[in-house]
Structure 1
Amino acid sequence: MSNSTREAWRLFKASKNQEGYFSNEDLCAQTELAIEFFKEHFPGTAVALFTSDNALSHWKCAPDGLLALKLLKIPKLWKGHDGQTKMHNRVLPNGKSQSFYYPNDHPMMAGYFKGMSKILEECGFIEEAQLPASCENLKCSDLKAACCCHRVLFNQPDFVGLKLALVELIEAHSHLVIFYPKFHCELNFTE
């Protein structure tokens, strides 16, 4: 037996006057630690099932996730929705990779975000690239329509299939995760 004093839990004093609030980054770090412990105690091919409630902090996408809502219609020197991380390349329906940014060797726009118009044109959505960036107040009348650039991108398979940061982390280690139903006290142990 190991004499390790490591533990998988963390005491946390939550409030704005204490240690803040348990963020998605904290949750992912805690889950990473739990995965390490699981591997130590169940080496081999054992699979863990992680469960989570529906707290808003659990429903965050990875910093490099494809978030159409934050995209601009025109090119701009832009690093990403968190101010640091660029979105990862998307996979087009034909299997090819598409970057949202001009390459670093581009003569005039190195590192710039391409803009939704250019992204849509590269995908073959020439007419849709001319649509407004978004509907008024981001409220599209038909969620399946091609009414604005944001909606066209929202409906693309890789945007629809976007996984949460917690899910990506757990599945990357070949484990499973389920979320409890919202606010159902008989099925959700945290309620």
Structure 2
Amino acid sequence: MRGTVNGIEITSRVIFLPGNSNGDGYWTNIDLTIQLKDVIPLFNELHPDCIGIFAFDQSSNHKDMADDALVASRMSSGVTEYKDTNKYRFRDTTFTDKEGRVKAQPMYRTETVNMEGVKKIVATRRAKQQPVSFEDLMNQYRLPRAREVFRGTLILLRERGLLDKNASLRKVCPSGTVHDPAVRPGCCAEYLLSQQPDFLAQKNILETVTFEAGHLFTLYPKYHCETNWIERQWGAAKRYSRMMCDYSFYTLTSRIHEFLDNDEVVHGPKINRRYYNLAYRYIDAYRKGKDVMEADEIIRKFSREYRSHRRAV
């Protein structure tokens, strides 16, 4: 994004050289989030009192969730110890029970005794009708130091009344399984928990940053780059760079801003609006139920008939 604020031209642009050896690594969601936080204030300066729609393509990088987000696929079904090296630490949440009461649900608990070990010994001895001394077991499985553990998806489901006390449920279904939300208790713990309102309400990082700034977030449809106007701007920049570059890395890096801005230099700043209008016509055609071939014909017909905003040709 580029614009003039108080007579000063300001550009929000990051030049990134991918690669692990001599480059900047890989472009991650963290890098994109930093740039988004740089773009939003510039948008607010250029368009005060306006709400922007920030659109991204369907890259998995753009849909990355925060490390504390409630994502069932990241959770273990059983109790596991939380360590400082763990990538994720899930936020506590709330749920509404069958009586309509809102209840808090912590994700972690502190243990001084290895309760999972105690439960296994108790279950084994009871099955063999052997005596059980809870005091001895508590002393035997007492931990040298207190530890924090993730409580596991099965416990979370039982607390919500979605799984019987002694029932078990596999963590995840085999690949390709078609899930049926009408089936209870569900085919697997991961899917059942992922369909709960608080899990469904989770937003990705970019969406969260955008909404917190008072703007809107959306994703372009998959496999339809024609709906994203920025692809045309990139295409123009790459076409010009092929014409002017001597295919040396030095020339490319030293003139990259010239390559990126050439389209506006030659055709004026309104060229990007033309790219946007063309993308919008595809979006409008798809909204009306047209397929790819029909949409393409509509755009071609429009381009032949309306070569100027003042007259039809």
TM-score, normalized by the shorter chain, greater than 0.5:
yes
Question: Does 1:118 find its partner at 2:150?
Answer: no
2:266 alignment partner in structure 1: none
- What CA distance in whole angstroms lies between the structure 2 residues aligned with 1:4 and 1:96? 53
Secondary structure (helix, strand or coil) at the match of 2:150 reads: coil
Question: Does 1:99 find its partner at 2:139?
Answer: no
Cα deviation 1:102-136 (Å, max 9, x = unaligned): 1x5x6546521111122112212242873333245
Cα deviation 1:62-91 (Å, max 9, x = unaligned): 1111111121122111259x8244111223
Question: Does 1:86 find its partner at 2:89?
Answer: yes
Task: Say if 1:22 and 1:121 are closer, same or farther in 2 by CA, change over 3 A.
Answer: same
Secondary structure (helix, strand or coil) at the match of 2:227 reads: coil
1:56 alignment partner in structure 2: 60
2:140 alignment partner in structure 1: none
- What CA distance in whole angstroms lies between the structure 2 residues aligned with 1:113 and 1:36? 38
For 2:92, the aligned partner's letter is: N
- Root-mean-square deviation over aligned CA pairs: 2.8
- Using structure 2 for the length normalisation, give the TM-score: 0.52
Question: Which one has the bigger helix percentage?
Answer: 2
Task: Say if 1:37 and 1:120 are closer, same or farther in 2 by CA, change over 3 A.
Answer: same
- What CA distance in whole angstroms lies between the structure 2 residues aligned with 1:138 and 1:120? 22
Correspondence for 1:31 among 17, 30, 36: 36
- For the Cα contact (< 8 Å) 2:12–2:38, is it kept in 1? yes
1:182 alignment partner in structure 2: 222
For 2:86, the aligned partner's letter is: G
- What CA distance in whole angstroms lies between the structure 2 residues aligned with 1:70 and 1:129? 23
1:178 deviation in Å? Answer: 1.7
For 1:121, the aligned partner's letter is: R
Answer with 1 or 2: which has the greater Rg.
2
Cα deviation 1:139-163 (Å, max 9, x = unaligned): 5443423122112101211222321
- What CA distance in whole angstroms lies between the structure 2 residues aligned with 1:128 and 1:115? 14
Task: Say if 1:8 and 1:92 are closer, same or farther in 2 by CA, change over 3 A.
Answer: same
- What CA distance in whole angstroms lies between the structure 2 residues aligned with 1:12 and 1:49? 25
Task: Say if 1:83 and 1:143 are closer, same or farther in 2 by CA, change over 3 A.
Answer: farther
Task: Say if 1:169 and 1:37 are closer, same or farther in 2 by CA, change over 3 A.
Answer: same
- For the Cα contact (< 8 Å) 2:77–2:171, is it kept in 1? no
Q: Which moved more, 1:24-33 or 1:146-155?
A: 146-155
Gaps in structure 1 of 5+ consecutive residues:
none
Task: Say if 1:184 and 1:165 are closer, same or farther in 2 by CA, change over 3 A.
Answer: same
Gaps in structure 2 of 5+ consecutive residues:
114-145, 232-313
- What CA distance in whole angstroms lies between the structure 2 residues aligned with 1:76 and 1:20? 32
- For the Cα contact (< 8 Å) 1:74–1:116, is it kept in 2? yes
- For the Cα contact (< 8 Å) 2:154–2:169, is it kept in 1? no
- Using structure 1 for the length normalisation, give the TM-score: 0.81
Secondary structure (helix, strand or coil) at the match of 2:107 reads: coil
Question: Which one has the bigger strand percentage?
Answer: 2
- For the Cα contact (< 8 Å) 1:140–1:147, is it kept in 2? no
2:167 alignment partner in structure 1: 130
1:171 deviation in Å? Answer: 0.6
1:6 deviation in Å? Answer: 6.1
Correspondence for 2:81 among 68, 77, 80: 77
1:167 alignment partner in structure 2: 207
2:24 alignment partner in structure 1: 19
- For the Cα contact (< 8 Å) 2:53–2:216, is it kept in 1? yes
